[in-house]
Amino acid sequence: MKILFAASEAYPLVKTGGLADAASGLPAALAGLGVDARIILPAYPEALDKAQAKDQGVALGDPLDAGETRLISARLPDSGAPVLLVDCPSLYDRPGGPYVDAKGHLWPDNHLRFALLSKAAAMVCTDGANGWRPDVLHANDWHAGLAPLYLKQALPSVFTVHNIHYQGLFERKTLQSVGLGDEHFTVNGVEYYGKVSFMKAGLQFSDRITTVSPTYAREIQGPEMGEGLHGLLAARADVLKGVLNGVDYGLWSPAKDKAIAANYTAGRLKGKAECKRSLQRQLGLAELADAPLLGMVSRFTNQKGVDILLDALKGVFGLGCQLAALGSGEARFESALSSAAAASPKRMAVAVGYDETLAHRIQAGADMLLVPSRFEPCGLTQLYALKYGTLPVARRTGGLADSVVDVSKGEAGTGFVFDEATSEGLLGAIGRGVELYKQPKDWRRVQNNAMKQDFSWRKAAREYMSLYKELLL
């Protein structure tokens, strides 16, 4: 079976969040099941730099009048997984991120950048690339949302929602510039409150829709979380399924992680204490072995509940906790967190930016990982935390609800779950964590339980295999 996996990012070529982990993790797991899965993504400079075994590329012409385009075949470093890089220098060859420039402003031609990704994916589906043609197109998030529309049902397609909040909304005239007729500007097409929604195209024109957890699949069918697309999602409920994302334990495992100060296992946790000490030292925190150290690795946005954490800081310190946060995002959150850390440098450290190594070191060195998200399609950091014996403090929403079991559930407990998206809710859960932390034997038992959880990609890959098979019947 051959699958083309279209996404705007894939680890380790380019990553801003969980999508990149999924875009490399799922195809790798599918390959383990004998599927020929190839990833297609834009040839951003960093992706071109890091990709291995690049060929000369084949010419795709200038499909959107945006510049000459080539399709380069290459491989991911380490895993060797095959990738196709859509090389259109006029759209992608510039410094900055996949979505924003160095100042954090959205690229003004994002509609073209991602329409071209979608168009190239559809062209590979219909014309092939180097003689390779997939059986199924698997498009991800709004960046690849137009692909099922361009494809015009030439092949079966799956569309996965990683986050319904980001929809790729553009002006009506965009349709023409991405080679689509105005007839698509209807309620049953891609029109969304007077704009064009690339996300809606994916939802409307794909054969199957998935999202990254069963709870989120239910949530987005309601007005509170559906971001205006709940009606469409509810109407397509018969083809909508939630499949929980997985973890690449080759990268995220305290027993072999090279980024952390010492390796450890559930049976030998000495190394975890060393990871904590080393993290405290690196971040300038007081080197207190017994102060519960809370970690957070996150985009600093409203979704992630950063304001909830900010409101809870006094209480966090009152409980004797330390806090190590890594992330970037909205300037107001970056500066509020940084000022709080500057005011209490022995108790709180904030690293603003993107730092893969520090992300691993926080997962290993912290005692608890905070995930106070308002909504969370799947969430990966809590899955990593479980494997590192760092008990998640998580809101009961989306994939968090599907992966963290509150300690009140007895033997099954792996963390501290709370319902209200408020600082009181968060503090209540942290408080319960601190109480348990004071009982080392009980803490160890829950830690052990957390580390035993298996969220590997294999399970998700099997579910996707059945889905693809259904489409090919």
Q: Please, what is the minimum distance in Å from the beta carbon of residue 20 to ligand ADP?
A: 7
> Structure tokens of 202?
């994916």
326 binds ligand ADP (CB under 6 A): yes
DSSP state of 187: T
Q: Which residue has the tokens 């590192």?
A: 388
- Nearest Cα neighbor of 39 from 68, 71, 63 is 71
Distance CA 29, CA 246 (A): 9
Kindly tell me which of 174 and 298 has the beta carbon lying closer to ligand ADP: 298
Beta-carbon contacts of 173 under 8 Å, excluding residues fewer than 6 positions away, are: none
Distance CA 340, CA 429 (A): 21
Residues 348-367 that bind ligand ADP (CB under 6 A): 354-356, 359
Kindly tell me which of 317 and 354 has the beta carbon lying closer to ligand ADP: 354
Q: Please, what is the minimum distance in Å from the beta carbon of residue 181 to ligand ADP?
A: 34
Binder to ligand ADP among 24, 160, 328, 456 (CB under 6 A)?
328
378 binds ligand ADP (CB under 6 A): yes
Distance CA 81, CA 83 (A): 7
Selected range binding ligand ADP among 15-23, 257-265, 338-346, 428-436, rule: CB under 6 A: 15-23
Cβ burial 376-403 (10 Å sphere, 16+ → b, else e): bbbbbbbbbbbbbbbbbbbbbbbbbbbb
User: How far, in whole angstroms, is CA 285 from its chain's centroid?
Assistant: 29
165 binds ligand ADP (CB under 6 A): no
Kindly tell me which of 119 and 361 has the beta carbon lying closer to ligand ADP: 361
Kindly tell me which of 294 and 326 has the beta carbon lying closer to ligand ADP: 326
Q: Please, what is the minimum distance in Å from the beta carbon of residue 385 to ligand ADP?
A: 10
Selected range binding ligand ADP among 13-21, 64-72, 151-159, 256-264, rule: CB under 6 A: 13-21
Q: Please, what is the minimum distance in Å from the beta carbon of residue 163 to ligand ADP?
A: 6
Nearest residue to ligand ADP, by Cβ distance, number only: 18
Binder to ligand ADP among 25, 63, 134, 327 (CB under 6 A)?
327
Q: Please, what is the minimum distance in Å from the beta carbon of residue 80 to ligand ADP?
A: 21
Residues 17-36 that bind ligand ADP (CB under 6 A): 17-19, 21
Are 389 and 449 spatial neighbours (Cβ–Cβ below 8 Å)?
A: no
- Total Cβ atoms within 10 A of residue 197: 24
Kindly tell me which of 134 and 327 has the beta carbon lying closer to ligand ADP: 327
- Total Cβ atoms within 10 A of residue 259: 13
Radius of gyration of the chain (CA): 22
Q: Please, what is the minimum distance in Å from the beta carbon of residue 224 to ligand ADP?
A: 18
Kindly tell me which of 118 and 381 has the beta carbon lying closer to ligand ADP: 381
Kindly tell me which of 39 and 436 has the beta carbon lying closer to ligand ADP: 39
φ, ψ for residue 260 (rounded to 5)?
-100, 160
Q: Which residue has the tokens 């792996």?
A: 414
Kindly tell me which of 151 and 326 has the beta carbon lying closer to ligand ADP: 326
Q: Please, what is the minimum distance in Å from the beta carbon of residue 106 to ligand ADP?
A: 17
Kindly tell me which of 21 and 227 has the beta carbon lying closer to ligand ADP: 21
Q: Please, what is the minimum distance in Å from the beta carbon of residue 373 to ligand ADP?
A: 8
Q: Please, what is the minimum distance in Å from the beta carbon of residue 5 to ligand ADP?
A: 17
- Whats the size of the chain, residue-wise? 473
Q: Please, what is the minimum distance in Å from the beta carbon of residue 57 to ligand ADP?
A: 30
Kindly tell me which of 175 and 380 has the beta carbon lying closer to ligand ADP: 380
Distance CA 85, CA 199 (A): 22
Q: Please, what is the minimum distance in Å from the beta carbon of residue 245 to ligand ADP?
A: 7
Selected range binding ligand ADP among 45-53, 224-232, 379-387, 442-450, rule: CB under 6 A: 379-387
Residues 248-307 that bind ligand ADP (CB under 6 A): 297-299
**Secondary structure (DSSP) of 340-396:** HHHHSTTTEEEEES--HHHHHHHHHH-SEEEE--S--SS-SHHHHHHHTT-EEEEES
Kindly tell me which of 136 and 261 has the beta carbon lying closer to ligand ADP: 261
* Size of interface with ligand ADP, in residues (CB under 6 A): 18
Under DSSP, is residue 294 helix (H, G, I), strand (E, B) or coil? strand
Q: Which residue has the tokens 């500007």?
A: 185
Q: Please, what is the minimum distance in Å from the beta carbon of residue 299 to ligand ADP?
A: 5
Are 19 and 144 spatial neighbours (Cβ–Cβ below 8 Å)?
A: no
Under DSSP, is residue 236 helix (H, G, I), strand (E, B) or coil? coil
Partnered with residue 258 across adjacent β-strands are none
Binder to ligand ADP among 372, 379, 389, 415 (CB under 6 A)?
379
Q: How does strand 368-371 pair with strand 416-418? A: unpaired
Distance CA 118, CA 116 (A): 5
Report the interface residues with ligand ADP, using CB under 6 A: 17-19, 21, 297-299, 326-328, 354-356, 359, 378-381
